[in-house]
C-alpha cells in the first residue's frame, strides 16, 4: 500500500501533538509567567551595565585630580601590556553625555560606575576637590534625565597615591578610616539622587594581587602575614564605610558591595556534591565575603593562616559585619567542587587542559555560576537581594570591511549565563538584576587596550564608539525582558 503520509504531514501532526500537551513544570518555569516566550524575566528585573573610573574616564590630571596607585603602576615600564595607561582611556570625562546616550539606546535601567577617590580627595584626605565632585554631579543628573538609575561604586582599585606613599596604603588602618571619611562625604553630596551604593569592588584584586603577587597596583610582593593584614584593613574600611554611609544618607539609600567571590558549582547535582559546594562557598571565601556576611573569620581560615593570621579585635569584626542591603557578585568563571571525605568535606576539581575558555585564557566558561551564585548567597546567608554586578567576556573583536563586529562568542557567553540566571529566579532565589561588563572597550588593567570586553567597539585614536552585534542582542533582550 502506498505511503501518502508526507514529511509535511508528519510535521503538522507532531506540532499538533506537542501543542495539545501540557508543559512540564520545568518547561513552564523556563517559559515564565508572562507567556511571552521562553526564559522571560520579571517585569521589575534590573537590566544594567557597568564600568569603572580608571578604565574609562581619562582626564588623569584635570580639574584637580592627582595620581592614584594605578596611574603610578601603569606608568611603570613593564607593568602593563604595550606600555598602555589610563591617561586618556575612553575620554569619558569629556564624553559622558555621549556615553549616557549609548546607555539609553541600549535601554538599560541602571548604570554601575565607580567614583575616583583621587578626584574627590586628591591627597586621600583633607580638603575635597569641588571640581571632582561636580563631574559626578553632572553624570548623575545626566543619567537620571535619561531614565537611568545610578549605582555608584566608591572604590574600584584606584587608591590615591598619596595614601600609599604616606601611610603604606592598605597596609595601614589609617587608609580604612580615610576611606570611611571619603565614603561619608561623597554620600552626603550624591545620596539625594544616588540610591544604591557599593563600597568596594573585588577585594582580592587590590589586596592579594596588589600587595601579594604584585600583578596589580601598587605592584608589591609582600609577606603572607602582611597580605592577610591588608585584607583585614580592606574589610575594616568596608565596614567603617557602611557605617559612615548610614550616618550620612537618607533612609532610602541601599548599601552593598561587588565581590568576585569564588562561585562553587557542584560537579554533579546530587545531594552530596551540592552540600559540598555550599561548604566550599563559605570556606573558599572565608577571608572576604564570609567574614563580612558573618562578622567573623572562620576557625578553619585562622587555623590555616596560623602565625600569618591577621591581627584584629572583636569590635573590628562587628564593624566588618555591618548589615548590608544587597550583595553584588562579579562572575566570570566557575570553581567546580566535589564531595570529599576530608575534614573540609569538599575538594576542588581541577579543570583539564582541554577545558574551554574565552579570548582571555583565565576566562573559563561555566555559565552555571549565574545560578549557583545567587543560590549560595540566598541559602547560606539569607540575603534577600542579589545582583550579578559584572558578567561578560573578552573577544578577539575585528571590524569587518563594512564596519561591523560580529562578536557571536560574546553573545554565546552571556546568553548562557542569562539562561542559568533565569533558573535561579524561577526557583525563587533572590536575583534582582544583571549588569553587563562592559559598556565599551576600555583600559583592561594589565592587559591595557589589548583585550576588549565592550558591547561597543572603541577606536582609541579617534574615540569613535561602534556598536557590536552584542549591543543589538542586549538591546533586544532588555526590550523583551527575556533571553533571546
8 A C-beta contact, residue 442 and residue 452: no
Q: The C-alpha cell of 330 is what?
A: 562579579
Query: The cell 518547561 sits on which residue?
Result: 27
Q: The C-alpha cell of 124 is what?
A: 586621600
Q: Clarify whether 202 is annotated catalytic.
A: yes
Active-site residue identified among 202, 316, 368, 444: 202
Active-site residue identified among 57, 164, 316, 390: 390
Q: What residues are paired with 254 via a beta bridge?
A: 196
Which candidate, 167, 310, 319, 324, places its Cα nearest to that of 240?
319
8 A C-beta contact, residue 437 and residue 392: yes
CA 80, CA 91: separation in Å to the nearest integer?
Answer: 19
Which candidate, 243, 282, 460, places its Cα nearest to that of 377?
282
8 A C-beta contact, residue 388 and residue 438: no
8 A C-beta contact, residue 333 and residue 366: yes
8 A C-beta contact, residue 98 and residue 84: no
Q: Clarify whether 98 is annotated catalytic.
A: no
8 A C-beta contact, residue 176 and residue 168: no
* Dihedral sign of CA atoms 9, 15, 18, 21 in order: negative
From the DSSP assignment, how many helices (H) and strands (E) are in the chain?
18, 13
List active site positions. 202, 390
Amino acid at each position: 500500500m502506498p505511503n501518502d503520509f508526507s514529511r509535511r504531514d508528519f510535521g503538522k501532526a507532531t506540532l499538533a501533538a506537542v501543542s495539545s500537551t501540557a508543559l512540564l513544570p520545568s518547561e513552564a518555569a523556563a517559559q515564565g509567567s508572562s507567556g511571552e516566550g521562553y526564559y522571560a524575566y520579571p517585569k521589575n528585573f534590573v537590566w544594567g551595565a557597568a564600568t569603572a573610573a580608571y578604565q574609562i574616564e581619562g582626564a588623569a590630571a584635570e580639574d584637580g585630580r592627582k595620581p592614584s596607585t594605578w596611574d603610578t603602576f601603569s606608568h611603570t615600564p613593564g607593568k602593563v601590556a604595550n606600555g598602555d595607561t589610563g591617561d586618556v582611556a575612553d575620554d569619558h570625562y569629556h564624553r559622558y553625555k555621549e556615553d549616557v546616550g549609548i546607555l539609553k539606546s541600549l535601554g538599560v535601567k541602571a548604570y554601575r560606575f565607580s567614583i575616583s577617590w583621587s578626584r574627590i580627595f586628591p591627597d586621600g584626605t583633607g580638603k575635597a576637590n569641588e571640581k571632582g565632585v561636580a563631574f559626578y554631579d553632572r553624570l548623575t543628573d545626566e543619567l537620571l534625565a535619561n531614565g537611568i538609575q545610578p549605582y555608584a561604586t566608591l572604590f574600584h582599585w584606584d587608591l590615591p597615591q598619596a595614601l600609599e606613599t604616606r601611610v603604606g596604603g592598605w597596609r595601614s588602618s589609617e587608609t580604612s578610616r580615610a576611606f570611611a571619611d571619603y565614603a561619608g562625604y561623597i554620600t552626603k553630596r550624591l545620596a539625594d539622587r544616588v540610591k544604591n551604593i557599593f563600597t568596594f569592588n573585588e577585594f582580592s584584586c587590590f589586596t592579594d594581587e596588589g600587595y601579594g603577587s604584585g600583578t596589580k597596583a601598587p605592584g608589591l610582593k609582600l609577606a603572607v602575614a602582611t597580605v592577610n593584614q591588608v585584607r583585614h584593613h580592606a574589610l575594616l574600611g568596608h565596614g567603617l564605610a557602611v557605617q559612615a554611609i548610614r550616618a550620612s544618607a537618607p533612609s532610602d539609600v541601599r548599601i552593598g558591595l561587588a565581590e568576585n567571590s569564588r562561585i562553587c558549582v557542584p560537579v554533579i547535582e546530587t545531594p552530596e556534591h551540592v552540600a559540598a559546594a555550599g561548604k566550599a562557598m563559605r570556606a573558599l571565601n572565608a577571608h572576604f565575603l564570609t567574614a563580612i556576611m558573618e562578622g567573623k573569620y572562620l576557625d578553619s581560615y585562622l587555623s590555616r593562616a596560623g602565625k600569618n593570621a591577621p591581627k584584629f579585635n572583636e569590635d573590628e569584626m562587628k564593624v566588618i559585619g555591618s548589615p548590608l542591603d544587597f550583595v553584588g557578585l562579579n562572575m566570570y568563571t566557575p570553581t567546580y567542587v566535589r564531595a570529599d571525605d576530608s575534614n573540609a568535606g569538599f575538594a576542588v576539581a581541577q579543570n583539564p587542559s582541554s577545558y574551554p575558555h574565552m579570548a582571555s585564557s583565565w576566562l573559563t566558561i561555566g555559565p552555571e555560576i549565574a545560578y549557583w551564585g545567587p543560590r549560595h548567597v540566598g541559602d547560606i546567608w539569607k540575603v534577600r537581594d542579589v545582583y550579578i554586578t559584572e558578567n561578560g567576556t573578552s573577544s578577539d573583536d575585528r571590524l569587518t570591511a563594512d564596519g561591523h563586529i560580529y562578536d557571536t562568542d560574546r553573545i554565546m557567553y552571556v546568553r548562557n549565563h542569562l539562561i542559568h540566571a533565569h533558573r535561579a529566579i524561577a526557583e525563587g532565589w533572590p536575583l534582582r538584576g544583571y549588569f553587563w561588563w562592559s559598556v565599551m572597550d576600555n583600559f583592561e588593567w594589565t592587559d591595557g587596550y589589548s583585550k576588549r570586553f565592550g558591547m561597543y567597539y572603541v577606536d582609541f585614536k579617534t574615540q569613535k564608539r561602534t556598536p557590536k552585534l552584542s549591543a543589538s542582542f542586549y538591546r533586544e533582550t532588555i526590550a523583551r525582558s527575556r533571553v533571546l
